[in-house]
Amino acid sequence: MEILMLGTAAAEAWPAPFCLCDACEKARKLGGKNIRTRPGALIDDDLKIDFGPDTVVQLIREGRHLRNLKTILFTHQHSDHFVPSELLWAKFPFTRTEPPAGSIELWGNRFVHEGIRDEFAKKQQHKLDYVMKEFAPGDHFTTAAGDEVWAMPADHVEGASVLRIRRKGKTIFWGHDSGIYPAATLDRLSDGIALDAALFDCTYGSERGGKGHLGFETVVEMAGELRNRKAITDRTKLVATHFSHGGKWMHDELVDRFKPHGIDVAYDGMIINV
């Protein structure tokens, strides 16, 4: 399985549009892996995690398309992960080759579903022909494409989930957005399934974090907790992502801090092979 990290920033991106803090100014000057767009990933070429405001530009940047998309999994309804108006582009006349919308499953919580329904209700000429699938934190389901998903409660916003996804015999943990994982989530992750990859929310960077989002210290703690519970083994790829300029550390500083803990630092365009 190939995980293409399309965006690795928190909500306002990094550099943030209105911000002249040191971290934003440094990112503007240094560029490269310090430039982070809003979060989301493409797995192989048919599974999309979230669909944020930068998705179209990210696909252009990577030379990729969504023609083969079968499933979108929405972690939650925040606008860095979910922009319902962008879902229109799968439909004629915005796509001129056979539109795939009718065969794409949209999995999200009830707020995501309400947002999509409201958006399509405003645009009456466009029928909502996606396959709408609702889930709630705690649910376990299999998509039409065959991905097995455990949605687990996040410490974030009402209805938010972190996801364990099993695809083609590999299992990954999509751990953002969330602060310290609730007990039910840690218990679910202790059921004996070893992870091939685990991704963590590191919004707070140099700050401790823990409430709503994690930071460096709490990412290391959560990775340790999942190791104790045997979800993480020596074979698990560990990746921190979803960084805010408020966390201050630039990409190279993050790499230096996380290295002793065996955790990689995500950047836009990173490919994780599991």
* Least distance to Zn ion, CB of residue 197, Å: 19
Total residues contacting Zn ion by CB under 5 A comes to 8
Q: What is the DSSP track for 179-247? A: SSPPHHHHHHTTSSPPPSEEEEE-TTTTS-B-SSSB-HHHHHHHHHHHHHTTSS-TT-EEEEE-B-GGG
Cα torsion 195, 45, 68, 139 to 10°: value is: 20
Residue environment code for 250-272, b if the CB has 16+ CB neighbours within 10 A, otherwise e: bbeebbebbeeeebbbbbbbbeb
Positive/negative CA dihedral, 44, 48, 53, 56: positive
Tokens 């560029």 belong to 31
Q: How far is the CB of 15 from Zn ion (least distance, A)?
A: 6
16 versus 162: smaller Cβ distance to Zn ion: 16
Q: For the segment 2-31, give every residue that binds Zn ion (CB under 5 A).
A: 16, 19, 21, 24
CB of 78 to Zn ion, least distance (A): 3
When binding is defined by CB under 5 A, the residue of 36, 166, 188, 245 that contacts Zn ion is 245
Q: Which of 126, 141, 140 is nearest to 87 (CA)?
A: 126
**Shortest Cβ 237–Zn ion spacing (Å):** 21
| Distance in angstroms (rounded) separating the CA atoms of residues 188 and 229 | 10
Stretch that binds Zn ion, among 97-105, 123-131, 175-183, 216-224 (CB under 5 A): 175-183
Q: Which is nearer to Zn ion, 223 or 247 (CB)?
A: 247
Q: 91 or 216, CB closer to Zn ion?
A: 216
Q: Would you say 21 or 30 has its CB closer to Zn ion? A: 21
DSSP 104: -
Q: Which amino acid is at 5?
A: M
Nearer to Zn ion by C-beta: 70 or 78? 78
Region of 200 please: left (phi>0), alpha (psi -120 to 50) or beta: beta
Nearer to Zn ion, 19 or 132 (CB): 19
Tell me: does residue 188 bind Zn ion (CB under 5 A): no
Q: Of 47-106, which residues contact Zn ion (CB under 5 A)? A: 78, 80
Positions touching Zn ion (CB under 5 A) are: 16, 19, 21, 24, 78, 80, 177, 245
